[in-house]
Amino acid sequence: MAGLVLDLQKDAMDSSIALTDLLRKAFVVAKKLAVQEFEEWVQSELNGYKDLDKIPPYREVTGIIKAWNPYRGWIPAIILDQKLANTLRKRKVRQSVSDLESLVKKQSKDGYLLIHYPPEVENLFNARRPLPAGSFCRG
């Protein structure tokens, strides 16, 4: 068992080891040591978080809100209500580590990762009717 823990420590210091592989090894260690909380955390990282309330603070990201303009591409969205803007800028990332690794490889040519809003939020952005007072206007 000590060998497996030492291997895990060594791999954690090796930047060439994929995070997914490191987490799989950590899962084996957690199982063998019967450390339930660590095992649950590793499973959530490997499989994604199902419960938004259990997502750790390090998985909350802040971004720039942009709108798609068919003539100009992505442009900054103008949101008049600062409280709403701050809420929309922050997202809890629930995807698995392997999904995130894949997204970064596919999308980060310009150094940015594109995360879409849930359909109900996108529908509000795309609404052709007036939006509730204190919300946002399209950019």
Rounded CA separation 112/83 (Å): 24
Q: What is the pLDDT of residues 81-139, one digit of tens each?
A: 899 888 889 989 999 999 988 887 777 566 677 777 888 888 877 775 554 554 444 44
The percent of residues in the chain predicted with pLDDT above 90, rounded, is 43
pLDDT band at 57 (very low <50, low <70, confident <90, very high): very high
User: Which residue type occupies 137?
Assistant: C
Rounded CA separation 7/3 (Å): 6
Distance of CA 38 to the CA centre of its chain: 20
pLDDT band at 5 (very low <50, low <70, confident <90, very high): confident
